[in-house]
A and B are shown apart, each in its own frame.
Chain A
Amino acid sequence: MSFQALEDILTVCDEEKILFWEAVLREDMNDRLVSREDSISKMKEMWYAMFHASRHYDASLKSSSGLVGGTGGQMDLYRQREEPICGDFVAEVMAEALKMGESNACMKRIVAAPTAGACGVIPAVLVPLYKRGQVTEEQVIEALYVTAGIGQVIAERAFIAGATGGCQAEIGSASSMAAGALVYLKGGSNAAIAQGSAMALKNLLGLVCDPVAGLVEVPCVKRNVIGAVNALSSADMALAGIESRIPPDQVIDAMKEIGTKMHVSLRETGEGGVANTPTAQLVRERLEKNGD
């Protein structure tokens, strides 16, 4: 992978007069020595797996700890019965994020994007657009290349694991990737894609990874919602022509600095933050008792 910076992707796009996603696709062909068709068909597999997981959500499932399950169904019911404050489209995005996060916690098949804990963010923004016929399958595949390009630069310059960088590295990265995809799908320029991704990441800087009892359940499932909704608002800002005052690659570097300085109790150890509340401690004790 030669892209060490979003700026590098934009430079290639300028020099070769190509779109952001095309630059990422070409780099994958070079990197893995595969044909264009092979790369695209692999990306299609990822999309089909995401879509399949969304369609086969089961609101009756509970995670092994009993903490997670059913909220995707609750959100759907609410959408049918009332007018959500955020409007129906955003409420559908929220429901999708909850569903995927819950499916993951309940040992269903999902696509890590970029991680299993953050697997709901990207499909949450893509599935509703696709289901409403606002984008074609081909455009969704292209948008997934956009997400992969952004995610790979974040992984190269910083990190994408909660254990190394906190939740900002997981949900923050996923949100940044999703924002870029949305800007692309709505016709934004290559530069606007980078701006949208930068604003999404910047808005979630500092988010810690504090899972109750160390499980990918609380607060992970609902953090997928903020990742998805933040991607929508950041994409809209970028499409309005608003720019991040800090250049995108420097935002990624700031994420790395924050993650490095983050105390270890707030990096997926299940020791600090939400995981350290009295209620969380009770949950942990209950699970430990049942565990052995």
Chain B
Amino acid sequence: MSNIFDILGPVMVGPSSSHTAGAVRIGYITRVLLGEEPIVADIGLYGSFSSTGKGHGTDRALVAGLLGMHPDDIRIPQSFELAREAGLDFAIHGIQLQDAHPNTAVIEVTGKNHKKLSVESCSIGGGRIRISKLDGITVNCSGESPTLIVHNIDQPGHVAEVTSMMAKCEVNIATMQLYRDKRGGYAVMVIETDQQVPEEKRRWLENLDGVIKVTYIDGEEI
């Protein structure tokens, strides 16, 4: 399903909706997920991103997104220079992955308050993207609707805590996915919602025992 402005639009810096506009979005969503200004980024490119990325400006586009730019920002071609000014230290290299989408980037990012995050995302065409791994755990979301992501220790009760909080503030759940690396290990909850999840509720979640971190995409800025 697409609306008429997916057909006529988006306004974007060229040359490619998947390799340039999508790459900016991947960088941007990585910054949003980190929740603070990134100061170190290790960017791994796979498949077509790696082989034709330079000619499409994929490298500059990803860095532009990490700096908080959108796909129509005319400063995208200068992003390397702007990153240096902003104090973002980045490295870009090719990587090998198994069974990944041909336009995939894995970004390991560290923020100015020492938060760390690893995000694997792919550009699926027309500038749209999918997040496929967070901190090495397989997930599947687009960032096009409000999305709450809770990283927690795999133990009973966390899903109930999150969902009852949402029920109380009348946030309807559109989709819900649960992932973990092993029993009792590291777990990730990805919840796409129809309404925004209030900030104070997200803060409250962050302070619960067993919750490692909470990240949020408001679904409007992507």
Report the minimum CB–CB distance from A48 to chain B (whole Å).
Answer: 9
- The answer, yes or no, to whether B167 is at the interface (CB within 8 Å) is no
Supposing A106-B14, A111-B8, A116-B20 touch, asked if A163 and B125 sit within 8 A by C-beta, the answer is yes
Cβ of B5: which chain A residues have Cβ within 8 Å of it?
42, 46, 148
Q: Is A246 an interface residue (CB 8 A)?
A: no
Binding-face segment, A7-15, A194-202, A214-222, A236-244: A214-222
With a CB–CB cut-off of 8 A, which chain B residues contact A149? 4
0/1 string, B6-25, CB within 8 A of A gives 1: 11111111111100110000
Interface assignment of A125: CB less than 8 Å from any CB of chain B: no
Interface SS, B side: mixed
Interface size of B by CB at 8 A reads 35
Specify which of B4, B9, B14, B48 is in contact with A216 (CB 8 Å cutoff). Answer: B14
Question: Which listed residue (A63, A144, A147) contacts B15, Cβ 8 A?
Answer: A63
How big is the A interface, by class? 35 or more
Q: Is residue B219 contacting chain A, with contact meaning CB distance below 8 A?
A: no
User: Which residues does chain A contribute within 8 Å of B10, judged by CB atoms?
Assistant: 111-112
Query: B51 — nearest CB in chain A belongs to which residue?
Result: A214
Residues of B within 8 A of A46 (CB): 5, 8-9, 11
Interface string of A113-130 (1 = CB under 8 A from B): 111110100100000000
The answer to whether B14 and A214 touch across the interface, beta carbons within 8 angstroms, is no
In the bound complex, do residue B12 and residue A109 qualify as a contact, i.e. CB atoms below 8 Å apart?
A: yes
Scan A25-69; emit 1 where CB is below 8 A from any B CB, else 0: 001100110000000001101100100000000000001110000
Q: Are A214 and B48 in contact (CB under 8 A)?
A: yes
Provided the pairs A107-B77, A161-B125, A270-B52 are in contact, do residues A152 and B7 lie with their beta carbons within 8 angstroms?
yes
Asked if residues B55 and A65 are in contact (CB atoms below 8 Å), the reply is yes
Is the C-beta of B143 less than 8 angstroms from some C-beta in chain A? no
Pick the contact of B8 from A1, A63, A114 — CB < 8 Å?
A114
Whether a CB of chain B sits under 8 angstroms from the CB of A282 is no
* Cα A115 to Cα B12 with chains together (Å): 10
Given that A107-B20, A152-B4, A163-B125 are contacting pairs, would A119 and B52 also be in contact in the complex, using a CB cutoff of 8 Å? no
**Interface contacts beyond A28-B3, A113-B9, A116-B15: sample of 6 additional A-B pairs, CB < 8 Å, sorted by A:** A108-B74, A109-B14, A116-B17, A144-B8, A147-B8, A155-B6
Closest 8 CB pairs of A and B: A104-B14, A214-B52, A148-B4, A151-B7, A216-B15, A49-B11, A215-B55, A107-B77
